[in-house]
A and B are shown apart, each in its own frame.
Chain A
Amino acid sequence: MPGGTLDRSDAPGGSAVVEASALTKRFKSFTAVDGIDFKVEAGEAFGFLGPNGAGKSSTMRMIGCVSPLTSGSLRVFGLDPATHGSQIRARLGVVPQEDCLDTQLSVRDNLFIYGRYFDLSRKVIAARIDELLDFVQLTERKHDKVEDLSGGMKRRLTIARALISEPDLILLDEPTTGLDPQARHVLWDRLYQLKARGVTLVLTTHYMDEAEQLCDRLVVMDGGRIVAQGSPRGLIAEHTSREVLELRFAGGAATHVDAVADLADHLEVLPERLVLSVADGDAALAAVHGRGIQPDTALVRRSSLEDVFLRLTGRTLVD
């Protein structure tokens, strides 16, 4: 049901923090966001999942009131970004795709000046800096130049910066892209804690595990449109079977399609891989072997959002 409104938020007079209908963004002849509808309720963690170029960042920039819409309507906290951008941004905490930290300034000064942009007093900022540095585990780096921090530390500092104004809504654009697994888990921990405090989170990601772990609800985007929406579990249940059997053929997978097609509820053919949606992966693999087919590798796993995306678009999320 592309472009439809999510069921849960259909209640009249609901407390939608973000509400978009037919939201569209065009750059010259290129349509980045193609008439999407969604609602984000207070206190939920809402995700945009999709590959690069799906229109996630453009959507985030419109919600963040830094990019004017081409058409459609958008309300954030019930206000119109076109006329109340500054008032809306005063209640947002933004973690942009690029950190945009001033690497020549210290950790403390980056947080300090950002607090000043929100017109907070020096005293309030000083107190919050200590709290936030503790929260993101950067207390010992307070007086270091940002230049000297690792990628994961910079990302945590960017999150601390977004929290300095005690925002009602936090926008995170690919919060963990480019981080090593350990740094990602530290970051996820912090985001869980924020969620537990009742802060509304809107995030984009092209990692299915991130979407599965963090999001209460998500929309899957592709080519500027919403191609599926729901809870991570709901999406998997609706669009794929319980398990997946992946068969890898280094010499090319296409020639083996006919031999295994009847074993799968659904079959995706990739250049060197066959992805079979099946109820029982081990049984399907035994059947494959029984037919004398010898894949180079075979993998049985639970279905994931990646499979939902593959099923809907015929492509993978991360190239």
Chain B
Amino acid sequence: MSTSTTRGAASGARRAFEFQLLRYRRTWRGSIAGTLLNPLFFLGALGIGLGHFVDRNGAVSALGGRDYLSYLAPGLLASTAMQVGMGEAAWPILGGVLWTKDYLAMINTPLEVTDVMLGHLAFIAMRITTAVGIFLAAMAAFGTWHSPLALLAWPAATLTGLSFVTPLAAFSVTREEDNAFTWLFRFFVTPVFLFSGAFFPISQLPSALQTVAKLTPLWHGVELCRALTLGRVHGAGALVQVVVLAAYVTVGLILSRRGYRARLAR
């Protein structure tokens, strides 16, 4: 009397994704409002307000030959992707096993543990890409697109967000409580946000810190997005950045698969 049909591996993940959408239907208004206002606040305050002083003091050449707003905006674009992704991959993932226990309901059905993981990651990717798309549209309105390549900053920033999401998912799903997240946001996300070249060139940092900055996916994402929106893509550099970001995503996926299994199939 089985009513289930097998439609290939993608089907299970799609159904797990469907659940995340169903939940999001309740909360999307608040989250979209934040996603819309965030770029306007940042671009307005920092780009125009602060940028006015930066531009007047002749820093233009050090900042890529355009105004400070055009330098800053792609940095904020990549940072937004990181922050949205980190927020979605911390509490909501642990909640799946600890609070809402949605994951624990899913695993009693034909869904596989990998489907549960991929469905949630796909939803997070959608959240990032929506936020990034809106930010990129705001950037166009602020006149910070200097090349049609800017459109490619959309997937580039999404990839940047995911390079944080998949390793964090592996961490989140194996936690027993959420204390670690407060530390993570205070002592990892904030410094990475401030020191990965979004606001100023990392050449301003001591050389040891420059090396650290270059290890973070955010620096690669910022550089990549900036090259695209300013229209100054150097083939090899951009390629390296894409490879580094993709490597973070891939390693994160492998670790997540292991973490999800350790947590949900024990």
A89 x B101 contact (CB < 8 A): no
B4 x A116 contact (CB < 8 A): no
Q: List A contacts of B108 (CB < 8 A).
A: 64, 66, 89, 92, 94, 96
| B55 at interface, CB cutoff 8 A | no
User: Which one of A102, A119, A161 contacts B11 once the chains associate, using CB atoms below 8 Å?
Assistant: A119
Stretch at the interface among A103-111, A224-232, A291-299: A103-111
Q: List A contacts of B104 (CB < 8 A).
A: 96, 98, 100
Q: List B contacts of A165 (CB < 8 A).
A: 3-4, 109
A66 x B107 contact (CB < 8 A): yes
A118 x B101 contact (CB < 8 A): no
Instruction: List residues 34-74 of chain A with CB under 8 A from any CB of chain B.
Output: 64, 66-68
B23 x A119 contact (CB < 8 A): no
Q: How far is the CA of A104 from the CA of B6 in the complex (A)?
A: 30
| B234 at interface, CB cutoff 8 A | no
B105 x A101 contact (CB < 8 A): yes
User: Which one of A100, A116, A119 contacts B102 once the chains associate, using CB atoms below 8 Å?
Assistant: A100
Q: How far is the CA of A66 from the CA of B23 in the complex (A)?
A: 24
| B203 at interface, CB cutoff 8 A | no
A85 x B112 contact (CB < 8 A): yes
User: Which one of B6, B15, B265 contacts A117 once the chains associate, using CB atoms below 8 Å?
Assistant: B15
A32 → B minimal CB distance (Å): 11
Q: List B contacts of A64 (CB < 8 A).
A: 108
Q: How far is the CA of A112 from the CA of B22 in the complex (A)?
A: 10
Closest partner residue, chain B, to A199 (CB atom)? B1
A114 x B101 contact (CB < 8 A): no
Known: A104-B100, A109-B22, A165-B4. A118 touches B110 (CB 8 A): yes
Q: How far is the CA of A64 from the CA of B264 in the complex (A)?
A: 13
Known: A66-B265, A103-B100, A104-B26. A117 touches B111 (CB 8 A): yes
| A313 at interface, CB cutoff 8 A | no
A105 x B266 contact (CB < 8 A): no
| A254 at interface, CB cutoff 8 A | no
Q: List A contacts of B22 (CB < 8 A).
A: 105, 109, 112-113
User: Which one of A68, A101, A116, A166 contacts B1 once the chains associate, using CB atoms below 8 Å?
Assistant: A166
Q: How far is the CA of A116 from the CA of B1 in the complex (A)?
A: 17
Q: List A contacts of B112 (CB < 8 A).
A: 85-86
| B5 at interface, CB cutoff 8 A | yes
B109 x A102 contact (CB < 8 A): no
Closest partner residue, chain B, to A94 (CB atom)? B108
Closest partner residue, chain B, to A166 (CB atom)? B1
Q: How far is the CA of A124 from the CA of B23 in the complex (A)?
A: 21
| B204 at interface, CB cutoff 8 A | no
A116 x B264 contact (CB < 8 A): no
B110 x A102 contact (CB < 8 A): no
| B18 at interface, CB cutoff 8 A | yes
- 0/1 string, B16-38, CB within 8 A of A gives 1: 10110011001000000000000
| B242 at interface, CB cutoff 8 A | no
Instruction: List residues 102-161 of chain A with CB under 8 A from any CB of chain B.
Output: 102-105, 109, 112-114, 116-120, 124, 161
Closest partner residue, chain B, to A118 (CB atom)? B4
A80 → B minimal CB distance (Å): 15
| B57 at interface, CB cutoff 8 A | no
B153 → A minimal CB distance (Å): 35
Q: How far is the CA of A4 from the CA of B1 in the complex (A)?
A: 31
- 0/1 string, B92-129, CB within 8 A of A gives 1: 00000000111011111111100000000000000000
| B2 at interface, CB cutoff 8 A | yes
Q: How far is the CA of A118 from the CA of B11 in the complex (A)?
A: 10
Q: List A contacts of B4 (CB < 8 A).
A: 87, 90-91, 118-120, 165
A114 x B109 contact (CB < 8 A): yes
| B186 at interface, CB cutoff 8 A | no
A166 x B110 contact (CB < 8 A): no
Q: List B contacts of A85 (CB < 8 A).
A: 112
A-B contact pairs, 23 of them (CB 8 A): A66-B107, A66-B265, A86-B6, A87-B4, A89-B110, A90-B4, A90-B110, A91-B2, A91-B4, A98-B101, A98-B104, A100-B101, A102-B23, A102-B100, A102-B102, A113-B22, A114-B105, A117-B16, A117-B111, A119-B5, A119-B15, A120-B4, A166-B1
Interface positions of A (Cβ within 8 A of B): 27, 64, 66-68, 85-87, 89-92, 94, 96, 98, 100-105, 109, 112-114, 116-120, 124, 161, 165-168
Q: What 6 pairs across the A-B complex have the smallest Cβ distances?
A: A90-B4, A117-B109, A94-B108, A100-B105, A100-B101, A90-B110
17 new A-B pairs (CB below 8 Å) besides A91-B4, A112-B22, A119-B110? A66-B265, A67-B266, A85-B112, A86-B112, A87-B110, A90-B3, A94-B108, A102-B100, A104-B23, A105-B26, A116-B15, A116-B19, A117-B15, A117-B19, A118-B109, A165-B109, A166-B3
